[in-house]
Structure 1
Amino acid sequence: MLKERIISPSVKEPAPGMWSNCLKVGNQVFISGMTARQPDGETVLGAEYEQSQVIFQKIKDLVEAAGGSMNNIIKMTIFVTNIANNSAVWKARQEFFEGDFPACTLVEVKSLAKPEILLEIEATAILG
């Protein structure tokens, strides 16, 4: 199995030995849970809609760096700290996808890495 780490200049890489933001294995692309953290480590402040826009842009940047597009994403898992605000996430998602949307799971969790992080999204894509 040939595993390739995909890097986008617009998405900050974690410290060595932590995790990979994006891996390409054959024609499959696996994107780790993305949050609205900026390259300086600070989280974009705002509600779920604003944070979702930042996250979907990061996912777009990574899948494009792997040679694909948002239409190649087949599965997403979205973790939110307040499921009552899920319509804001769906609104942002509609700005990045068209046609058949990916399969998706939305789960409410008690908390994420920092209190100001309201959601985290991971994605899987198949290229070609």
Structure 2
Amino acid sequence: MTRVAAQTVPEPPRPGMFSNARVHGDQFFLSGMHAGGPDGPVGGADAYAQAKEAFRRVRALTEACGAAVDDILVLRIYLTDIADRALVGRARSEVFAGDFPCSTLVEVSALVEPGLKVEIEAHGVVGSHNRT
């Protein structure tokens, strides 16, 4: 497996804890991406803005893996308030078109940093959108 990084996505705060992205053969795996930043969540308390930032990071890492967002086959989305699902869905529809990835969306009591509302994990196969 190869560890992958993207210049526009913050690396884990402690080296050796986890990888943001890994590639194995033609499969890629992304750790949960969120909108965390040094001054609090990007987008503040706005779930839509946080989701847009999380999806931006998912896109950047996917592309760093040599794939396109249409190669993402599975999303796992964690929300601290299930009432935000429509806002996250709006952000998701700005990223994906046509056949959407398989997706799980669940409410959790908290995420890794205070103020975070959404975290998105992805798994896909490089080049799968071109296969029939």
TM-score range, shorter chain: over 0.9
Secondary structure in 2 matching 1:19: coil
Question: Paired residues, what number?
Answer: 125
Structure 2 contact 40–115 (Cα < 8 Å) conserved: no
Q: Is residue 70 of structure 2 the alignment partner of residue 84 of structure 1?
A: no
CA deviation digits over 1:5-40, x for unaligned, max 9?
A: 1110001111211100000000000000011013x3
Q: Is residue 59 of structure 2 the alignment partner of residue 60 of structure 1?
A: yes
TM-score normalized with structure 2 length: 0.91
Structure 1 match to 2:97: 98
TM-score normalized with structure 1 length: 0.94
**1:20-31 paired onto structure 2 within 5 Å:** 20-31=19-30
**What stretches of structure 1 of length at least 5 have no aligned partner?**
none
Percentage identity across paired residues of the two chains? 40
CA deviation digits over 1:39-66, x for unaligned, max 9?
A: x363211321000000000000000011
RMSD over aligned Cα atoms:
1.1
In structure 1, distance between residues paired with 2:71 and 2:82? 26
**What stretches of structure 2 of length at least 5 have no aligned partner?**
128-132
Question: Cα distance 1:73–1:41, how it changes in 2: closer, same or farther (>3 A)?
Answer: farther
Structure 1 match to 2:111: 112
* Deviation, structure 1 residue 114: 2.1
Structure 1 match to 2:130: none
* Deviation, structure 1 residue 115: 2.5
Which stretches of structure 1, 4 residues or more, deviate above 6 A after TM superposition? none
